[in-house]
Amino acid sequence: MYVSLGFAQAPCCCLQSTKWSQQPCFSAAGYRKSKAKPNGKKTASEEKKVYLEPEHTKSRITDFEFKELVVLPREIDLNEWLASNTTTFFHHINLQYSTISEFCTGETCQTMAVCNTQYYWYDERGKKVKCTAPQYVDFVMSSVQKLVTDEDVFPTKYGREFPSSFESLVKKICKYLFHVLGHIYWAHFKETLALELHGHLNTLYVHFILFAREFNLLDPKETAVMDDLTEVLCSSPGSSGATGDGASSGASGAQNHVKER
């Protein structure tokens, strides 16, 4: 079992607005990706990744040393640590996406794209599901929600054991959550910036990537699509890189904004 950290369950518009009669089964569902631009040409937005600009990458909401924070504490069971953190990342990424979800529509994001990579959802029968980015995120969040609340997978009661497939399920969850984070950066950084939530996004990204790195939860091939950002955000000393002024003022505004929503 693991002890829930008690994070408020973020209501997710994508969870509420699902119109799909057949919920995808996470354990069987998969995704495949393809290069959106096989000719190697760069799109206009690709050439100018606003989220890589130093004035934005330095923004954080805390100067925590995430490299130390992610390490398994002594006396804590590995699976409990993975469960607790995975659940927390799910809630936080869900919340971060909910702040821009009104801008992520079937019109603005006709495919689930991150840089030059396009992701497809595959249902429980392995059938390719043509979906927009908000539908893809809906599939991800619904599936993860189902898993983290399943006592057989994420046991919370005393005496219950984690399944033998637990670590591979955590890896799958991390992979899908990474797609959502990548999409927020790639397609909605402008809106995130306007909401002054980029400090939150950067902080969440660093924490998530360093945690995944610590326990080998993400395949480097999977994360290669965001390597340029990861290098800037996670390679700085301590990987916190908080610079104070900009970050703190941004955080203050962001918190107010979240309360209003």
Under the binding rule (CB under 5 A), the answer on residue 133 touching Zn ion is yes
Q: Is 198 annotated as a binding residue?
A: no
Q: How many CB atoms lie within 10 A of CB 50?
A: 14
Indicate whether 225 belongs to the interface with Zn ion (CB under 5 A).
Answer: no
Is there a binding annotation on residue 115? no
Q: CA 77 from chain center: how many Å?
A: 24
The CB-of-33 to Zn ion minimum distance in angstroms stands at 16
Site string for Zn ion, 64-103 (x = CB under 5 A): ----------------------------------------
Say which DSSP state 43 is in: P
CB neighbourhood size of 152 (10 A): 10
Please identify which residue in 187, 217, 233, 247 interacts with Zn ion, judged by CB under 5 A: 187
Residue 56 marked in a binding site: no
User: Stretches 85-93, 107-115, 157-165, 243-251: which one binds Zn ion (CB under 5 A)?
Assistant: 107-115
* Candidate list 14, 104, 195, 218; residue touching Zn ion; CB under 5 A: 104
Query: Nearer to Zn ion by C-beta: 49 or 67?
Result: 49
| DSSP type of residue 200 | H
How far is the C-alpha of 86 from the C-alpha of 91, rounded, in Å? 9
Q: End-to-end CA distance of the chain, in Å?
A: 34
Q: Which residues contact 13 (CB under 8 A, 6 or more apart)?
A: 98, 101, 102
- Binding interface with Zn ion (CB under 5 A): 104, 109, 133, 187
